[in-house]
Amino acid sequence: MRFIDEYRDAAAAQQWARAIHRITTKPWTIMEICGGQTHAILKFGVDELLPKSITLIHGPGCPVCVTPLELIDKAIEIASRPAVIFCSFGDMLRVPGTNKDLLSVKAHGGDVRVVYSPLDAVKIAQQNPDREVVFFAVGFETTAPANAMAVYQAKRQGIKNFSLLVSHVLVPPAIEAILSSPTNRVQGFLAAGHVCTVMGYTEYEPIAQKYRVPIVVTGFEPLDILQGIYLCVKQLEEGRAEVENQYTRSVRREGNQPAQQLIREVFQVVSRQWRGIGPIPRSGLGLRDEYAEFDAERRFDVASHHVEESSECISGLVLQGIKKPHECPAFGTRCTPEHPLGATMVSSEGACAAYYRYRARSSANG
């Protein structure tokens, strides 16, 4: 397919790999933020083409993985009510809550539906005026324009039986949280190409300056990732710390303006809890007061309660790049994609699931 196949060309990948080898003189640690990139790196073995001195750390950029346990429990509580049709992206269904997951709610007769787009959930609300339709709005900036549009249209069309359970998170505050941690090892970042397609990359410029880290906006195909790493290493070797854009075919510096406008219309910046990491100030989006009637947490008055994470799961350390998945004692034994203990094993973009799928054997040996 156009815009995919040409960026998977093996000979060109080798050329990029050679170029990276040529310029690398010191050890460097680089984090790719986005789970989609983590998945591609392991699937295509990008990491295996790199010099041994370059370490890739897999970042917290998987919304399925960082949605807090408390919100999963709220989703389960709302989805269990008989009047509710609960709509979600498919990969949220198997994320373990405290006692069960959404899939088991469905198995016990709950009306839980997988949708492709939040607009599908709006349609379901129109078709079922006597039911309450709730959409589980998780995601990073990439998903925010779609969720904003769903609420905006519901309001415009006077649809009263539609609401969002919102757990939106933002990338730049997470990068800052990682960089300001005393245990931080990350020296350069590959920023997520599709997040920046929506938001542009001006927000990253002060971060690169303040923390003296190169940030390279990078796409998702193997050649994109290799070029992103090349540009990042080149900056590190030359002692520069700038924001560069590798993914120019999709990302403009100012991002997608109409999308940002609607995000601002519907959402406001709020503090959010990140699963495995903890609270990060001003790191998420919540509905503005003008759209509060569409907030499922208010509509269903779900109680906040204290929740305990599985004591065995070290996904918080994995998400911060402190541990690799196969350093977890449960990896591949008590924790597998079929029976996940932690969220990073659920989503194909989660580091644990990506290692399990593509590296189970090699990590067991090494």
Where do contacts with ligand SF4 occur on this chain (CB under 6 A)? Answer: 312-315, 318, 325, 328, 330-331, 335, 340-342, 344-345, 352
Taking the least distance from each CB to another protein, the nearer of 187 and 347 is: 347
Binding mask 335-364 for another protein (x = CB under 8 A): ------------x-x---------------
Stretch that binds another protein, among 41-49, 86-94, 289-297, 323-331 (CB under 8 A): 86-94
| Amino acid identity for residue 118 in this structure | P
Alpha-carbon distance of 18 to 250, in angstroms, equals: 26
**CA dist 13 to 32, 46, 128, 186, 203, Å?**
18, 9, 51, 24, 30
Q: Of residues 110-149, which lie at the interface with another protein (CB under 8 A)?
A: 116-120, 138-140, 142-143, 145-146, 149
Annotate 149-173 with DSSP letters as a single string: HHHHHHHHTT--SEEEEEEEE-HHH
Do 173 and 281 contact (CB within 8 A), yes or no? yes
The DSSP symbol for 303 reads P
One of 17, 35, 170, 284 touching another protein (CB under 8 A): 35
Smallest distance from another protein to CB 157, Å: 11
- Estimate the crossing angle of helix 171-180 against helix 204-211, to 10 degrees: 10
Half-sphere exposure of 124 (CA within 13 A, CB side): 23
Residue 42 near which of another protein, ligand SF4, none (CB within 5-8 Å, type-dependent): none
Residue 341 near which of another protein, ligand SF4, none (CB within 5-8 Å, type-dependent): ligand SF4
Alpha-carbon distance of 286 to 192, in angstroms, equals: 21
Helix, strand, or coil here: 236?
helix
Smallest distance from ligand SF4 to CB 352, Å: 3
Torsional sign, CA 222, 227, 233, 236: negative
Smallest distance from ligand SF4 to CB 150, Å: 30
Binding residues (CB under 8 A) for another protein: these are: 1-4, 6-7, 12, 15-16, 19, 22, 34-36, 61-64, 89-92, 116-120, 138-140, 142-143, 145-146, 149, 153, 192, 194, 197-198, 223-224, 227, 246, 248-252, 256, 258-259, 262, 347, 349
